[in-house]
Amino acid sequence: MKLQNDLLIRAAKGEYVERTPVWLMRQAGRILPEYRAIRNQMKSFLELVQTPQLAAEVTIQPVDILQVDAAIIFSDILVVPEAMGLPYEMLEKKGPYFPRTVASVQDVQGLRVAQPDQDMPYVMEAISLVKEQLQGRVPLIGFAGAPWTVFSYMVEGSGSKTFSKARRMLYQEEQMAHALLQKIADSTIAYLKAQINAGADLIQIFDSWAGVLPKDHYLKFSYPYIRQICQSIDEVPVTVFAKGAFFALEEMGKLPCDTIGLDWNMDVARSRQLVGEGKTLQGNLDPCALFGNQTDIIKQTEDMLQAFGPGRHIANLGHGVYPDTSVDAVKCFVDTVKEFRH
């Protein structure tokens, strides 16, 4: 079905747009009371992720309520390790937890390359349902974690301030680390292809923990696997968001992808210089700016739009929206972008 609002896709490709498209990372979720109502009926986060009808419903909620220019499929980056044979739980108020982790060569060998249609069919079913129900209103974003970020959870077993267990492996067991990263990359490529087949219009890769690596490790253990993924996808535009990877922006500019996500610490003009003119930039309002009053939100959003300039920009926050952000503040951000003209 032809998209009625294809601003996101045109902006990603560097084509003409009448105005800047806008969506928010983590827009489907706890900021919306309508999400919490559905979530509270479920035993767990995983149950919601694995129930396509409900995953589709919460995917579309922000399109209806916030009037954003894109939907992002409701799932998690951790469905990939689960599909590889490493199950996870989502602990209330604590976040992801892996009862088993990867610590040895045997552990890596024991994992399989995910077969998406067999190991996580519920994601593709949810995508098909969303596409059916959206009726082309806005594009649907599919996503996956970057191999390094997924690796860090599989080795660490949970979130961490330092990810020192995962980082230790890069220093002590280089070969093993590469074997695991390659298995994750292969799984991710198969997974993203399946999402595109099911109807995803654009793909975003989240490298949430890029910023804990020194540049040489980033270029050795994260960047090459992101490159493999970008190279394998030519059906739809690809966005790479590597949080904290200001040190690698020049290299990111050389990835075979369409859009680079910026976090709020990255200077827009400097980032543009480093990335070059050939890519769209996405971002990068400080998520905490949405805790300000309405006048300040409008001002900060307009300043951001001005900094990016016309064209080749997708408005977003510099990271996922925080759960305690008010819906009115998010609406104010979205409306400001939609009313702004360069």
- List active site positions: 26, 30, 39, 76, 153
In angstroms, what is the minimal distance from the CB of 310 to ligand CP3? Answer: 27
173 binding ligand CP3? (CB under 6 A):
no
330 binding ligand CP3? (CB under 6 A):
no
Token digits of residue 51? 């129930």
What is the C-alpha separation between 199 and 299, in angstroms, rounded?
37
Mark the segment that binds ligand CP3 (CB under 6 A) among 25-33, 102-110, 299-307, 310-318. Answer: 25-33
In angstroms, what is the minimal distance from the CB of 320 to ligand CP3? Answer: 4
**14 versus 211: smaller Cβ distance to ligand CP3:** 211
In angstroms, what is the minimal distance from the CB of 175 to ligand CP3? Answer: 26
208 binding ligand CP3? (CB under 6 A):
yes
What Cα–Cα distance (Å) separates residue 266 from each residue in 1, 66, 135, 222, 247? 37, 26, 36, 19, 10
74 binding ligand CP3? (CB under 6 A):
yes
Q: Name which position in 27, 188, 195, 325 contacts ligand CP3 (CB under 6 A).
A: 27
25 binding ligand CP3? (CB under 6 A):
yes
Q: Which of residues 309-328 bind ligand CP3 (CB under 6 A)?
A: 320
What is the C-alpha separation between 191 and 202, in angstroms, rounded?
14
**122 versus 340: smaller Cβ distance to ligand CP3:** 122
Q: Name which position in 3, 5, 14, 30 contacts ligand CP3 (CB under 6 A).
A: 30
**36 versus 299: smaller Cβ distance to ligand CP3:** 36
147 binding ligand CP3? (CB under 6 A):
no
Find the Cα–Cα–Cα–Cα dihedral 189, 193, 194, 197, rounded to 10°.
180
Q: Which pairs from 161-167 meet CB under 8 Å and 24+ separation?
A: 162/212, 163/209, 163/212, 167/212, 167/213, 167/217
Task: Provide the mask over 229-268, with x wherever binding to ligand CP3 is found by CB under 6 A and - wherever it is not.
Answer: ----------------------------------------
Applying CB under 6 A, the residues found at the interface with ligand CP3 are 25-30, 39, 45, 72, 74-78, 90, 95-96, 143, 159, 206, 208, 320
